[in-house]
């Protein structure tokens, strides 16, 4: 699923707030706040993309996420690896390690994460 920058901004607000009404969403935006019609349009797009839904309470809609941030991030990372690294996670990891100017501490942390994952697979 591909979201625009504005859609990502709104879904991040929903993830941060949890269930939220329109007034909550508008209040969560930094200044200058978007028009409520703009937020309504973005909400409709997110609903159509299957990212959020809502419950009706009286005359109000309470919006909530259908996917969480981890699921969204994972989907996009897998898509990027497929597109730019021929589906190879090891090519991505090599690119990441060689091009991100990581500190020794960050590289050590990554190695520890990988070692732990290997240990868990061997059990």
pLDDT band at residue 123, thresholds of 50, 70 and 90?
Answer: confident
Over the stretch 81-121, which tens digit does the pLDDT of each residue have? 999 999 999 999 999 988 999 999 999 999 999 999 999 99
Residue ranges making up the domain that contains 105? 86-123
Tell me which residue has tokens 């090599």: 94
Tell me which residue has tokens 């090891």: 90
Query: Both tokens of residue 37?
Result: 């019609």
Q: Does 56 lie in the same domain as 9?
A: yes
Domain presence at residue 70: no
- What stretch of H or E contains 71? helix 69-84
Residues paired with 67 in a beta bridge: none
Q: Please say whether the beta carbons of 42 and 7 come within 8 A.
A: yes
Number of domains present in the structure of the chain? 2
Domain presence at residue 108: yes
Q: Please say whether the beta carbons of 61 and 21 come within 8 A.
A: yes
Domain presence at residue 24: yes
Domain presence at residue 75: no
**pTM value?**
0.79
- CATH at residue 17: 1.10.10.10
Q: Does 56 lie in the same domain as 11?
A: yes
């Amino acid at each position: 699923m591909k979201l625009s920058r504005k859609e990502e901004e709104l879904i991040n607000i929903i993830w941060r707030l949890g269930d939220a009404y329109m007034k909550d969403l508008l209040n969560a935006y930094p200044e200058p706040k978007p028009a409520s019609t703009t937020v309504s349009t973005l909400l409709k797009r997110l609903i159509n993309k299957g990212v959020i839904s809502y419950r009706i309470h009286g005359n109000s809609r309470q919006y909530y996420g259908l996917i969480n941030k981890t699921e969204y991030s994972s989907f996009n990372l897998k898509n990027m690896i497929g597109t730019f690294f021929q589906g190879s996670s090891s090519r991505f990891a090599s690119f990441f390690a060689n091009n991100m100017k990581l500190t020794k501490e960050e590289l050590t942390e990554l190695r520890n994460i990988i070692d732990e994952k290997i240990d868990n697979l061997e059990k």
